[in-house]
Amino acid sequence: MALTDCKIIDLPKISDPRGNLTFIEGDRHIPFDIKRVYYLYDIPGGAERGAHGHRKLEQFIVSMSGSFDVILDDGYQTRTIHMNRSYYGLYVSPMMWRDITNVSSGAVLMVLASEVYDENDYFRDYDLFLQAVREKGGV
What positions carry a catalytic annotation? 52
Residue 23's identity, in one-letter code, is F
Residue 28's identity, in one-letter code, is R
| H-type alpha helices, the chain | 126-136
Q: Which residues face 62 on adjacent strands?
A: 89, 110
> How far apart are alpha carbons 124 and 53 in whole angstroms?
7
